[in-house]
Amino acid sequence: MSKLELQHAVEQFLYRQAEILDGKRWQDYIGLFAKDGIYWMPADPSHKTWEGMPAIFAEDINLMTVRMDRVMHPDAWSQRPHWGTNHVVSNVVIEKTSPNGDVHVRSRFHMLELRRDDVRHFAGSYRHHLKKAKDGYRIKLQRVDMTNAQAAYDYVLQVWV
């Protein structure tokens, strides 16, 4: 795969991920992760590992499934009001490629969220460790450093950003 093709493939993957989130296709989202994949939003940008550290999210597929099942339950009260999101992903930079096809990529995101009548903005950076799979990539680790996370939370996050 040429550099350009690789860049294209990785970008397409990130765009698809954003579409899945905005489409609230939670099972498809979990499906993007490797069996041992982790979704991680550190409590602090200085954190180097999710293990044994306070984290906003630090979820394997099992915990992600709990989150999905909970959000889809009719009595998940905080999820009852109408809400929707729009993710834009950009600044995609491939940091590292491995002979086995794994890719480390960083990017930036901007998300607009509408909840009831309120519009909010969230932004930050993604860092994906993608594992090569037969049909594309699977996420081994997705690190999300959300800039808003350094201020008091005037909201609660209920799904992955």
Partner 1 sequence: MLQEQFADLAKCVEPDRVRREVYTEPAIFELEMQRIHERYWIYCGHESQVPKPGDYYTVQIGRQPMLMVRGKDKRVHVLYNRCPHRGNMMCGDRHGNTGEFFRCSYHAWTFQHDGALRTIPMMESGYAGTRYGKDNPDCSMKKAARVESYRGFVFASLAKDGPDLKEFLGESKIAFDDMCDRAPEGEVEVVPNCFRVIQHSNWKIFLENQLDALHPSVVHQSTGRAAHEMEKRIEKKTGKAPLSYHMLSAFATVTIDKWDVFQTLNYPQGHCILTGYMGLRPKDSDTLAYEKVMQKAYGKQRAESILAVNIHHVLIYPGLSVQSPLQQLRAVRPLGVDKTLTEIWHFRLKGAPEPIYRRSLAYYNLVNSPATLINADDLENFWKCHQGLSSDGGDWVSFGRHFGRDIEKPGGMVETGPNMGTSEAPMRNQMKAWAQYMAAGR
Tell the smallest beta-carbon distance from residue 21 to partner 1 (Å): 14
Q: Which residues bind partner 1 (CB under 8 A)?
A: 41, 43-44, 52-58, 62-63, 65-71, 73-78, 80, 149, 151-158
Of 37 and 92, CB closest to partner 1: 37
Of 56 and 94, CB closest to partner 1: 56
Cα 156 to Cα 142: distance, rounded to the nearest angstrom:
20
Tell the smallest beta-carbon distance from residue 16 to partner 1 (Å): 23
Closest CA to 97 of 9, 18, 161, 33: 9
First to last CA, the chain: 30
The structure tokens listed for 22 are: 């905005």
Tell the smallest beta-carbon distance from residue 94 to partner 1 (Å): 28
* Strand bridging mode 103-115 / 83-97: antiparallel
Tell the smallest beta-carbon distance from residue 35 to partner 1 (Å): 13
Cα 59 to Cα 157: distance, rounded to the nearest angstrom:
14
Of 133 and 155, CB closest to partner 1: 155
Of 58 and 89, CB closest to partner 1: 58
Closest CA to 122 of 79, 71, 87: 87
CA–centroid distance for 144 within its chain: 6
Of 67 and 129, CB closest to partner 1: 67
Tell the smallest beta-carbon distance from residue 69 to partner 1 (Å): 4
The structure tokens listed for 110 are: 């901007």
